[in-house]
Structure 1
Amino acid sequence: MPQDQEPRPLPTPDSQELQDLVTEAETRAVYQVLYQSRNEPLEMTAIREYVAEITGKSNLQMDRRLRSLRTHFNVPAERIPDKRNHFVYPLLGWKPDADKRTARKSIPGSVRALIFQTYGNRCAACGRTPKDDQVKLVIDHMVPLDLGGTNDPDNLQVLCEEDNHNKQALFAEHQDDVPALRKSLSLPEVHMRIGELLKNMAGEEVPKELIVLVAREENHGDPTKRMRELRSLGWIIKNSKRRKGRRVLSCYRLEHWEPWPPEGPQAAVAGLERARKRSKRFREG
Protein backbone atom coordinates (compact mmCIF):
# COMPACT_ATOMS: atom_id res chain seq x y z
CA MET A 1 0.00 0.00 0.00
CA PRO A 2 1.42 3.45 -0.89
CA GLN A 3 2.39 5.42 2.21
CA ASP A 4 -0.02 8.26 1.37
CA GLN A 5 -2.99 5.92 0.91
CA GLU A 6 -5.40 5.51 3.81
CA PRO A 7 -6.02 1.94 5.04
CA ARG A 8 -9.24 0.42 3.77
CA PRO A 9 -11.90 0.85 6.49
CA LEU A 10 -13.12 -2.33 8.12
CA PRO A 11 -16.80 -3.15 7.60
CA THR A 12 -19.02 -2.58 10.61
CA PRO A 13 -20.57 -5.73 12.12
CA ASP A 14 -24.08 -4.83 10.89
CA SER A 15 -23.04 -3.80 7.38
CA GLN A 16 -24.22 -5.40 4.16
CA GLU A 17 -20.58 -5.59 3.09
CA LEU A 18 -19.81 -7.99 5.94
CA GLN A 19 -22.95 -10.06 5.33
CA ASP A 20 -21.94 -10.48 1.69
CA LEU A 21 -18.49 -11.75 2.75
CA VAL A 22 -19.46 -13.79 5.81
CA THR A 23 -22.65 -15.77 5.38
CA GLU A 24 -22.73 -17.59 8.74
CA ALA A 25 -24.31 -15.60 11.58
CA GLU A 26 -22.05 -17.22 14.22
CA THR A 27 -18.91 -16.20 12.31
CA ARG A 28 -20.25 -12.65 12.02
CA ALA A 29 -20.71 -12.72 15.80
CA VAL A 30 -17.03 -13.56 16.20
CA TYR A 31 -16.18 -10.67 13.87
CA GLN A 32 -18.40 -8.38 15.96
CA VAL A 33 -16.46 -9.22 19.13
CA LEU A 34 -13.11 -8.77 17.36
CA TYR A 35 -14.27 -5.48 15.84
CA GLN A 36 -15.51 -4.08 19.15
CA SER A 37 -12.33 -5.11 20.98
CA ARG A 38 -9.86 -4.10 18.27
CA ASN A 39 -8.32 -1.36 20.46
CA GLU A 40 -7.89 -3.79 23.38
CA PRO A 41 -7.69 -7.30 21.86
CA LEU A 42 -9.08 -10.17 23.90
CA GLU A 43 -7.89 -13.66 24.77
CA MET A 44 -9.81 -16.62 23.38
CA THR A 45 -11.65 -17.35 26.63
CA ALA A 46 -13.16 -13.87 26.65
CA ILE A 47 -13.99 -14.03 22.93
CA ARG A 48 -15.86 -17.31 23.49
CA GLU A 49 -17.85 -15.82 26.35
CA TYR A 50 -18.91 -12.71 24.41
CA VAL A 51 -19.81 -14.73 21.29
CA ALA A 52 -21.87 -17.12 23.42
CA GLU A 53 -23.78 -14.15 24.85
CA ILE A 54 -24.56 -12.90 21.34
CA THR A 55 -25.52 -16.24 19.80
CA GLY A 56 -26.79 -18.21 22.77
CA LYS A 57 -24.49 -21.05 21.71
CA SER A 58 -21.36 -22.35 23.42
CA ASN A 59 -19.97 -24.93 20.98
CA LEU A 60 -18.94 -22.65 18.13
CA GLN A 61 -15.84 -24.31 16.61
CA MET A 62 -13.83 -21.13 17.06
CA ASP A 63 -10.84 -22.38 15.09
CA ARG A 64 -13.05 -22.79 12.01
CA ARG A 65 -14.69 -19.39 12.55
CA LEU A 66 -11.31 -17.67 12.74
CA ARG A 67 -10.03 -19.48 9.64
CA SER A 68 -13.09 -18.23 7.78
CA LEU A 69 -12.51 -14.63 8.85
CA ARG A 70 -8.83 -14.87 7.96
CA THR A 71 -9.83 -15.39 4.34
CA HIS A 72 -10.33 -11.63 4.14
CA PHE A 73 -9.04 -10.14 7.39
CA ASN A 74 -5.72 -10.05 9.21
CA VAL A 75 -6.38 -11.65 12.62
CA PRO A 76 -3.08 -12.97 14.02
CA ALA A 77 -2.58 -14.77 17.31
CA GLU A 78 -0.25 -12.48 19.25
CA ARG A 79 1.52 -13.86 22.30
CA ILE A 80 1.19 -11.78 25.48
CA PRO A 81 4.71 -10.90 26.71
CA ASP A 82 5.81 -12.71 29.88
CA LYS A 83 2.66 -14.86 29.96
CA ARG A 84 3.13 -18.47 28.96
CA ASN A 85 0.78 -19.63 26.19
CA HIS A 86 -1.52 -16.62 26.45
CA PHE A 87 -2.60 -14.98 23.19
CA VAL A 88 -4.79 -12.12 22.06
CA TYR A 89 -6.50 -11.82 18.68
CA PRO A 90 -6.37 -8.31 17.22
CA LEU A 91 -8.41 -7.44 14.14
CA LEU A 92 -5.70 -5.51 12.27
CA GLY A 93 -7.39 -4.85 8.94
CA TRP A 94 -8.00 -6.33 5.50
CA LYS A 95 -5.68 -8.87 3.91
CA PRO A 96 -3.74 -7.14 1.08
CA ASP A 97 -5.29 -9.49 -1.49
CA ALA A 98 -8.70 -9.75 0.17
CA ASP A 99 -10.63 -8.96 -3.02
CA LYS A 100 -8.94 -11.82 -4.88
CA ARG A 101 -9.70 -14.41 -2.22
CA THR A 102 -12.62 -16.79 -2.22
CA ALA A 103 -14.26 -18.21 0.84
CA ARG A 104 -12.46 -21.19 2.28
CA LYS A 105 -14.29 -24.45 1.97
CA SER A 106 -15.04 -26.09 5.29
CA ILE A 107 -13.58 -29.51 6.06
CA PRO A 108 -16.34 -32.15 5.79
CA GLY A 109 -17.35 -33.79 9.06
CA SER A 110 -16.36 -37.22 7.75
CA VAL A 111 -12.83 -35.97 7.02
CA ARG A 112 -12.56 -34.31 10.44
CA ALA A 113 -13.60 -37.57 12.10
CA LEU A 114 -11.02 -39.48 10.05
CA ILE A 115 -8.22 -37.12 11.09
CA PHE A 116 -9.10 -37.33 14.79
CA GLN A 117 -9.21 -41.13 14.48
CA THR A 118 -5.89 -41.24 12.61
CA TYR A 119 -4.17 -39.25 15.36
CA GLY A 120 -5.92 -41.15 18.15
CA ASN A 121 -7.49 -37.94 19.51
CA ARG A 122 -3.97 -36.86 20.49
CA CYS A 123 -2.06 -33.65 19.71
CA ALA A 124 0.49 -34.32 16.96
CA ALA A 125 2.97 -31.90 18.58
CA CYS A 126 2.84 -32.61 22.33
CA GLY A 127 0.88 -35.86 22.53
CA ARG A 128 -1.68 -34.59 25.04
CA THR A 129 -5.31 -35.73 24.95
CA PRO A 130 -8.60 -34.22 26.14
CA LYS A 131 -9.26 -37.20 28.41
CA ASP A 132 -5.90 -37.24 30.21
CA ASP A 133 -4.81 -33.60 29.98
CA GLN A 134 -8.05 -31.60 29.59
CA VAL A 135 -6.86 -29.94 26.37
CA LYS A 136 -9.04 -28.95 23.43
CA LEU A 137 -8.03 -30.40 20.07
CA VAL A 138 -8.47 -28.70 16.69
CA ILE A 139 -7.81 -29.62 13.07
CA ASP A 140 -4.69 -27.90 11.73
CA HIS A 141 -3.36 -27.48 8.19
CA MET A 142 0.26 -28.68 8.13
CA VAL A 143 0.88 -26.37 5.17
CA PRO A 144 -1.34 -23.32 5.78
CA LEU A 145 -3.92 -22.48 3.16
CA ASP A 146 -2.20 -19.12 2.62
CA LEU A 147 0.92 -21.02 1.50
CA GLY A 148 -0.90 -23.26 -0.92
CA GLY A 149 -2.05 -25.94 1.50
CA THR A 150 -5.30 -27.82 0.92
CA ASN A 151 -8.09 -29.51 2.85
CA ASP A 152 -6.83 -32.90 1.66
CA PRO A 153 -6.46 -35.37 4.55
CA ASP A 154 -2.69 -35.70 4.04
CA ASN A 155 -2.36 -31.97 4.83
CA LEU A 156 -4.39 -32.16 8.04
CA GLN A 157 -3.32 -32.99 11.55
CA VAL A 158 -4.64 -32.67 15.10
CA LEU A 159 -3.16 -30.06 17.44
CA CYS A 160 -4.14 -28.89 20.88
CA GLU A 161 -5.24 -25.25 21.03
CA GLU A 162 -1.98 -24.27 22.74
CA ASP A 163 0.24 -25.69 19.98
CA ASN A 164 -2.13 -24.38 17.31
CA HIS A 165 -1.88 -20.87 18.78
CA ASN A 166 1.91 -21.16 19.01
CA LYS A 167 1.99 -22.06 15.31
CA GLN A 168 -0.22 -19.09 14.42
CA ALA A 169 2.01 -16.79 16.45
CA LEU A 170 5.09 -18.15 14.68
CA PHE A 171 3.63 -17.37 11.26
CA ALA A 172 2.55 -13.93 12.41
CA GLU A 173 6.19 -13.26 13.34
CA HIS A 174 7.38 -14.46 9.91
CA GLN A 175 4.91 -12.76 7.59
CA ASP A 176 7.81 -11.14 5.71
CA ASP A 177 9.17 -14.62 4.94
CA VAL A 178 5.98 -15.91 3.30
CA PRO A 179 7.37 -15.54 -0.28
CA ALA A 180 10.45 -17.60 0.69
CA LEU A 181 8.28 -20.24 2.34
CA ARG A 182 5.95 -20.46 -0.65
CA LYS A 183 8.87 -20.76 -3.07
CA SER A 184 10.54 -23.48 -0.97
CA LEU A 185 7.34 -25.49 -0.64
CA SER A 186 7.04 -25.78 -4.43
CA LEU A 187 10.39 -27.57 -4.88
CA PRO A 188 10.47 -31.32 -5.61
CA GLU A 189 13.05 -32.63 -3.09
CA VAL A 190 13.18 -32.28 0.69
CA HIS A 191 16.84 -31.15 0.72
CA MET A 192 16.05 -28.46 -1.85
CA ARG A 193 13.03 -27.26 0.11
CA ILE A 194 15.04 -26.92 3.31
CA GLY A 195 18.16 -25.61 1.59
CA GLU A 196 16.41 -22.92 -0.44
CA LEU A 197 14.58 -21.69 2.66
CA LEU A 198 17.89 -21.39 4.49
CA LYS A 199 19.38 -19.56 1.50
CA ASN A 200 16.46 -17.14 1.28
CA MET A 201 16.81 -16.43 5.00
CA ALA A 202 20.63 -16.50 4.98
CA GLY A 203 22.13 -14.98 8.11
CA GLU A 204 18.88 -15.34 10.05
CA GLU A 205 18.05 -17.94 12.65
CA VAL A 206 15.36 -20.14 11.11
CA PRO A 207 13.10 -21.83 13.70
CA LYS A 208 12.85 -25.61 13.54
CA GLU A 209 9.08 -25.31 12.99
CA LEU A 210 9.64 -23.59 9.63
CA ILE A 211 12.14 -26.28 8.62
CA VAL A 212 9.58 -28.97 9.48
CA LEU A 213 6.92 -27.12 7.50
CA VAL A 214 8.87 -26.95 4.24
CA ALA A 215 10.28 -30.46 4.68
CA ARG A 216 6.73 -31.83 4.28
CA GLU A 217 7.71 -35.22 5.65
CA GLU A 218 5.52 -37.71 7.49
CA ASN A 219 5.74 -37.63 11.29
CA HIS A 220 7.53 -34.25 11.01
CA GLY A 221 10.67 -35.91 9.60
CA ASP A 222 14.05 -35.39 11.24
CA PRO A 223 15.51 -31.88 10.71
CA THR A 224 18.74 -32.90 12.47
CA LYS A 225 19.29 -35.69 9.93
CA ARG A 226 18.52 -33.40 6.98
CA MET A 227 20.96 -30.78 8.26
CA ARG A 228 23.62 -33.49 8.60
CA GLU A 229 22.97 -34.58 5.02
CA LEU A 230 23.22 -31.01 3.73
CA ARG A 231 26.50 -30.61 5.61
CA SER A 232 27.81 -33.72 3.82
CA LEU A 233 27.27 -31.77 0.57
CA GLY A 234 29.55 -28.99 1.83
CA TRP A 235 26.99 -26.72 3.47
CA ILE A 236 27.85 -25.00 6.76
CA ILE A 237 24.79 -24.79 9.01
CA LYS A 238 24.96 -23.75 12.64
CA ASN A 239 22.32 -24.81 15.11
CA SER A 240 21.41 -22.91 18.26
CA LYS A 241 18.71 -22.48 20.84
CA ARG A 242 17.14 -19.21 21.89
CA ARG A 243 14.62 -18.37 24.52
CA LYS A 244 11.40 -16.63 23.58
CA GLY A 245 9.39 -15.94 26.69
CA ARG A 246 9.30 -19.29 28.47
CA ARG A 247 9.76 -21.30 25.29
CA VAL A 248 13.12 -22.54 24.00
CA LEU A 249 13.28 -22.52 20.20
CA SER A 250 15.67 -24.68 18.17
CA CYS A 251 17.04 -22.69 15.24
CA TYR A 252 19.35 -23.14 12.24
CA ARG A 253 21.50 -20.51 10.51
CA LEU A 254 23.13 -20.95 7.10
CA GLU A 255 26.74 -19.71 6.84
CA HIS A 256 27.82 -21.31 3.54
CA TRP A 257 26.12 -23.23 0.75
CA GLU A 258 27.16 -25.14 -2.36
CA PRO A 259 25.38 -25.46 -5.74
CA TRP A 260 23.00 -28.39 -6.03
CA PRO A 261 24.67 -31.50 -7.55
CA PRO A 262 23.63 -32.22 -11.18
CA GLU A 263 22.00 -35.50 -10.13
CA GLY A 264 20.04 -33.74 -7.39
CA PRO A 265 20.74 -33.61 -3.64
CA GLN A 266 18.77 -36.72 -2.74
CA ALA A 267 20.74 -38.88 -5.20
CA ALA A 268 24.01 -37.26 -4.11
CA VAL A 269 23.30 -37.93 -0.43
CA ALA A 270 22.36 -41.55 -1.24
CA GLY A 271 25.62 -41.94 -3.18
CA LEU A 272 27.67 -40.62 -0.26
CA GLU A 273 25.89 -43.00 2.09
CA ARG A 274 26.65 -45.98 -0.17
CA ALA A 275 30.30 -44.97 -0.35
CA ARG A 276 30.43 -44.66 3.45
CA LYS A 277 29.00 -48.16 3.90
CA ARG A 278 31.46 -49.64 1.37
CA SER A 279 34.33 -47.99 3.19
CA LYS A 280 33.09 -49.33 6.51
CA ARG A 281 32.81 -52.89 5.15
CA PHE A 282 36.33 -52.61 3.69
CA ARG A 283 37.78 -51.51 7.05
CA GLU A 284 35.94 -54.25 8.92
CA GLY A 285 36.88 -56.90 6.34
Structure 2
Amino acid sequence: MLISTIEDYISETGKHEDVWFRGVSSKSYSPKPKVHWAGISRDLEDDLVYNFLKDHFKYHSPKNDNPWYLYSLMQHHGLPTRLLDWTKSPLVALYFALTQPEEKKHNPRVWLLNPYRLNSTVLGYERVYCPSQSNLRYIKTKNYFCTKELELKPYKADVSIKLLFDSYLPANLVSDEVHRRLDFPIAIDTIPLDARMSAQQSVFTIHGKDSFDLAKHSSDHLIDYIDIDYSAKEKILQQLFKLGFNEDSIYCTLDSLAQRICRERLSEL
Protein backbone atom coordinates (compact mmCIF):
# COMPACT_ATOMS: atom_id res chain seq x y z
CA MET A 1 0.00 0.00 0.00
CA LEU A 2 1.24 3.51 -0.90
CA ILE A 3 0.19 6.45 1.26
CA SER A 4 0.86 10.17 0.85
CA THR A 5 -0.56 11.73 4.02
CA ILE A 6 0.05 11.20 7.71
CA GLU A 7 -3.70 10.86 8.20
CA ASP A 8 -3.80 7.89 5.84
CA TYR A 9 -0.80 6.36 7.58
CA ILE A 10 -2.39 6.62 11.02
CA SER A 11 -5.66 5.25 9.66
CA GLU A 12 -3.94 2.28 8.01
CA THR A 13 -1.73 1.35 10.96
CA GLY A 14 -4.74 1.66 13.24
CA LYS A 15 -6.35 -1.27 11.42
CA HIS A 16 -3.66 -3.63 12.76
CA GLU A 17 -3.59 -4.96 16.31
CA ASP A 18 -0.64 -6.40 18.22
CA VAL A 19 1.92 -5.50 15.55
CA TRP A 20 5.44 -4.12 15.65
CA PHE A 21 6.85 -1.60 13.18
CA ARG A 22 10.18 -1.04 11.46
CA GLY A 23 10.90 2.00 9.30
CA VAL A 24 13.47 1.90 6.47
CA SER A 25 14.33 4.32 3.68
CA SER A 26 13.59 1.89 0.84
CA LYS A 27 11.94 -1.43 0.02
CA SER A 28 15.42 -2.73 -0.82
CA TYR A 29 16.09 -3.07 2.93
CA SER A 30 14.65 -6.46 3.75
CA PRO A 31 13.88 -7.20 7.43
CA LYS A 32 17.11 -9.07 8.15
CA PRO A 33 19.75 -8.42 10.83
CA LYS A 34 23.16 -7.13 9.79
CA VAL A 35 24.89 -10.45 10.47
CA HIS A 36 22.74 -11.95 7.69
CA TRP A 37 22.64 -9.23 5.05
CA ALA A 38 26.34 -8.43 5.46
CA GLY A 39 27.28 -12.12 5.15
CA ILE A 40 29.22 -12.18 8.43
CA SER A 41 30.56 -15.63 9.20
CA ARG A 42 30.09 -17.29 12.56
CA ASP A 43 33.80 -17.03 13.36
CA LEU A 44 33.86 -13.32 12.53
CA GLU A 45 30.68 -12.77 14.53
CA ASP A 46 32.26 -14.41 17.58
CA ASP A 47 35.41 -12.32 17.07
CA LEU A 48 33.40 -9.06 17.01
CA VAL A 49 31.63 -10.03 20.22
CA TYR A 50 34.88 -11.03 21.91
CA ASN A 51 36.52 -7.71 21.13
CA PHE A 52 33.50 -5.73 22.31
CA LEU A 53 33.40 -7.63 25.60
CA LYS A 54 37.15 -7.14 26.05
CA ASP A 55 37.16 -3.38 25.55
CA HIS A 56 33.73 -1.98 26.39
CA PHE A 57 34.65 -1.43 30.06
CA LYS A 58 36.71 1.60 28.94
CA TYR A 59 33.50 3.47 28.20
CA HIS A 60 30.73 1.67 30.05
CA SER A 61 30.28 0.11 33.48
CA PRO A 62 27.47 -2.43 33.07
CA LYS A 63 25.00 -2.77 35.92
CA ASN A 64 24.74 -6.49 35.31
CA ASP A 65 26.40 -9.24 33.30
CA ASN A 66 23.20 -10.72 31.88
CA PRO A 67 24.17 -11.96 28.38
CA TRP A 68 20.97 -10.58 26.80
CA TYR A 69 21.67 -7.19 28.34
CA LEU A 70 25.18 -7.22 26.87
CA TYR A 71 23.97 -8.40 23.45
CA SER A 72 21.33 -5.65 23.35
CA LEU A 73 24.06 -3.18 24.30
CA MET A 74 26.11 -4.29 21.29
CA GLN A 75 23.15 -3.82 18.95
CA HIS A 76 22.30 -0.50 20.59
CA HIS A 77 25.77 0.86 19.77
CA GLY A 78 26.09 -0.41 16.21
CA LEU A 79 27.86 -3.78 16.41
CA PRO A 80 26.52 -6.27 13.82
CA THR A 81 24.29 -8.76 15.64
CA ARG A 82 21.44 -11.20 15.04
CA LEU A 83 19.05 -8.70 16.58
CA LEU A 84 16.73 -6.65 14.38
CA ASP A 85 15.20 -3.48 15.82
CA TRP A 86 11.43 -2.96 15.86
CA THR A 87 9.18 -0.55 17.72
CA LYS A 88 5.71 -0.75 19.18
CA SER A 89 5.03 2.80 17.94
CA PRO A 90 3.90 3.35 14.32
CA LEU A 91 4.97 7.01 14.47
CA VAL A 92 8.47 6.18 15.73
CA ALA A 93 8.81 3.77 12.79
CA LEU A 94 7.55 6.46 10.42
CA TYR A 95 10.17 8.88 11.75
CA PHE A 96 12.94 6.37 11.03
CA ALA A 97 11.56 5.63 7.56
CA LEU A 98 11.63 9.34 6.68
CA THR A 99 15.02 10.19 8.19
CA GLN A 100 17.26 7.23 7.34
CA PRO A 101 20.03 7.92 4.79
CA GLU A 102 18.84 7.34 1.23
CA GLU A 103 20.76 6.30 -1.87
CA LYS A 104 18.10 7.22 -4.43
CA LYS A 105 14.64 8.77 -4.40
CA HIS A 106 12.94 5.58 -3.29
CA ASN A 107 9.67 5.44 -1.42
CA PRO A 108 10.33 4.89 2.31
CA ARG A 109 8.75 1.78 3.80
CA VAL A 110 7.37 0.74 7.19
CA TRP A 111 7.28 -2.98 7.86
CA LEU A 112 4.53 -4.37 10.09
CA LEU A 113 5.19 -7.63 11.94
CA ASN A 114 2.78 -9.71 14.00
CA PRO A 115 5.19 -11.01 16.70
CA TYR A 116 2.60 -13.32 18.25
CA ARG A 117 1.87 -15.03 14.96
CA LEU A 118 5.60 -15.37 14.28
CA ASN A 119 6.23 -17.07 17.62
CA SER A 120 3.14 -19.23 17.25
CA THR A 121 4.46 -20.35 13.85
CA VAL A 122 7.99 -21.23 14.95
CA LEU A 123 7.57 -22.03 18.67
CA GLY A 124 3.97 -23.17 18.93
CA TYR A 125 3.37 -20.49 21.58
CA GLU A 126 1.44 -17.31 20.80
CA ARG A 127 3.48 -15.30 23.26
CA VAL A 128 6.39 -12.85 23.21
CA TYR A 129 9.09 -13.73 25.73
CA CYS A 130 11.71 -11.57 27.43
CA PRO A 131 14.73 -13.93 27.55
CA SER A 132 16.77 -11.55 29.71
CA GLN A 133 14.53 -12.66 32.58
CA SER A 134 16.23 -15.62 34.25
CA ASN A 135 13.00 -17.58 34.66
CA LEU A 136 12.21 -17.23 30.96
CA ARG A 137 15.51 -18.39 29.50
CA TYR A 138 13.85 -21.52 28.15
CA ILE A 139 10.45 -23.12 27.47
CA LYS A 140 9.45 -26.76 27.31
CA THR A 141 8.14 -27.94 23.97
CA LYS A 142 7.26 -31.15 22.14
CA ASN A 143 7.58 -29.52 18.71
CA TYR A 144 10.28 -28.09 16.52
CA PHE A 145 10.09 -25.76 13.52
CA CYS A 146 11.20 -27.38 10.26
CA THR A 147 12.82 -24.65 8.15
CA LYS A 148 12.62 -26.80 5.00
CA GLU A 149 8.88 -27.38 5.20
CA LEU A 150 8.21 -24.14 7.15
CA GLU A 151 5.97 -25.73 9.74
CA LEU A 152 5.94 -27.08 13.26
CA LYS A 153 6.58 -30.79 13.59
CA PRO A 154 6.46 -33.00 16.70
CA TYR A 155 9.58 -34.65 18.02
CA LYS A 156 9.56 -38.37 17.30
CA ALA A 157 9.95 -39.31 20.95
CA ASP A 158 7.19 -38.41 23.38
CA VAL A 159 9.39 -36.09 25.42
CA SER A 160 9.53 -32.43 26.33
CA ILE A 161 12.57 -30.54 25.07
CA LYS A 162 13.93 -27.41 26.68
CA LEU A 163 14.12 -24.75 24.00
CA LEU A 164 17.03 -22.57 25.13
CA PHE A 165 16.73 -18.96 24.04
CA ASP A 166 20.43 -18.56 24.85
CA SER A 167 21.12 -20.74 21.79
CA TYR A 168 20.64 -17.59 19.70
CA LEU A 169 23.51 -15.82 21.42
CA PRO A 170 27.11 -15.82 20.16
CA ALA A 171 29.35 -18.41 21.79
CA ASN A 172 31.27 -15.84 23.86
CA LEU A 173 28.07 -14.89 25.67
CA VAL A 174 27.03 -18.46 26.48
CA SER A 175 28.58 -20.48 29.30
CA ASP A 176 27.43 -23.91 28.08
CA GLU A 177 30.15 -26.19 26.80
CA VAL A 178 28.06 -27.18 23.79
CA HIS A 179 26.69 -24.27 21.80
CA ARG A 180 23.93 -25.07 19.31
CA ARG A 181 22.37 -22.25 17.34
CA LEU A 182 18.72 -22.59 16.34
CA ASP A 183 17.58 -21.95 12.78
CA PHE A 184 14.51 -19.76 12.94
CA PRO A 185 13.80 -16.17 14.12
CA ILE A 186 11.64 -15.30 17.10
CA ALA A 187 10.17 -12.08 18.47
CA ILE A 188 11.44 -11.07 21.90
CA ASP A 189 10.71 -8.32 24.36
CA THR A 190 13.48 -6.43 26.10
CA ILE A 191 14.26 -4.34 29.14
CA PRO A 192 15.12 -0.78 28.00
CA LEU A 193 18.79 0.01 28.53
CA ASP A 194 18.28 3.76 28.65
CA ALA A 195 15.90 6.62 27.89
CA ARG A 196 16.43 6.23 24.15
CA MET A 197 15.25 2.62 24.01
CA SER A 198 12.32 3.55 26.20
CA ALA A 199 11.37 6.51 23.99
CA GLN A 200 11.66 4.37 20.87
CA GLN A 201 9.58 1.57 22.48
CA SER A 202 12.24 -0.86 21.31
CA VAL A 203 11.63 -4.56 20.77
CA PHE A 204 13.52 -7.11 18.69
CA THR A 205 13.44 -10.12 16.52
CA ILE A 206 16.48 -12.35 16.94
CA HIS A 207 17.48 -14.47 13.98
CA GLY A 208 19.01 -17.93 13.90
CA LYS A 209 21.48 -19.47 11.48
CA ASP A 210 18.86 -19.80 8.71
CA SER A 211 18.07 -16.53 6.90
CA PHE A 212 14.28 -17.29 6.91
CA ASP A 213 13.39 -14.11 5.04
CA LEU A 214 10.43 -12.59 6.89
CA ALA A 215 9.55 -10.51 3.83
CA LYS A 216 8.44 -13.66 2.00
CA HIS A 217 5.75 -14.49 4.55
CA SER A 218 3.11 -11.84 3.91
CA SER A 219 0.72 -14.58 2.74
CA ASP A 220 1.02 -16.13 6.21
CA HIS A 221 -0.11 -12.85 7.80
CA LEU A 222 3.22 -12.64 9.59
CA ILE A 223 4.34 -9.43 7.95
CA ASP A 224 3.03 -6.57 5.83
CA TYR A 225 4.28 -3.14 4.78
CA ILE A 226 3.22 0.41 4.01
CA ASP A 227 5.12 2.52 1.49
CA ILE A 228 5.26 6.31 1.76
CA ASP A 229 5.15 8.40 -1.40
CA TYR A 230 8.59 9.98 -1.75
CA SER A 231 7.06 13.24 -3.00
CA ALA A 232 5.13 13.58 0.30
CA LYS A 233 8.11 12.69 2.49
CA GLU A 234 9.07 16.20 3.60
CA LYS A 235 5.50 17.29 4.31
CA ILE A 236 4.83 14.22 6.48
CA LEU A 237 8.15 14.69 8.31
CA GLN A 238 7.21 18.28 9.18
CA GLN A 239 3.89 17.00 10.55
CA LEU A 240 5.77 14.47 12.68
CA PHE A 241 7.91 17.26 14.10
CA LYS A 242 4.75 19.14 15.13
CA LEU A 243 3.48 15.99 16.85
CA GLY A 244 6.63 15.87 18.96
CA PHE A 245 8.54 13.17 17.08
CA ASN A 246 11.88 14.83 16.48
CA GLU A 247 15.61 14.36 16.94
CA ASP A 248 15.89 14.61 20.71
CA SER A 249 12.58 12.89 21.55
CA ILE A 250 13.78 9.88 19.52
CA TYR A 251 17.49 9.75 20.42
CA CYS A 252 17.46 11.47 23.87
CA THR A 253 21.02 12.83 23.73
CA LEU A 254 22.60 16.27 23.97
CA ASP A 255 23.76 15.90 20.35
CA SER A 256 20.21 15.29 19.16
CA LEU A 257 18.94 18.21 21.27
CA ALA A 258 21.46 20.50 19.59
CA GLN A 259 20.46 19.16 16.16
CA ARG A 260 16.80 19.90 16.79
CA ILE A 261 17.53 23.43 18.04
CA CYS A 262 19.71 24.16 15.03
CA ARG A 263 17.10 22.83 12.61
CA GLU A 264 14.33 24.88 14.20
CA ARG A 265 16.25 28.12 14.88
CA LEU A 266 18.80 28.27 12.07
CA SER A 267 16.71 27.03 9.14
CA GLU A 268 16.01 30.54 7.86
CA LEU A 269 19.62 31.76 7.99
TM range, smaller chain? under 0.3
Relative contact order higher in (CA < 8 Å, ≥ 6 apart): 2
Larger radius of gyration: 1
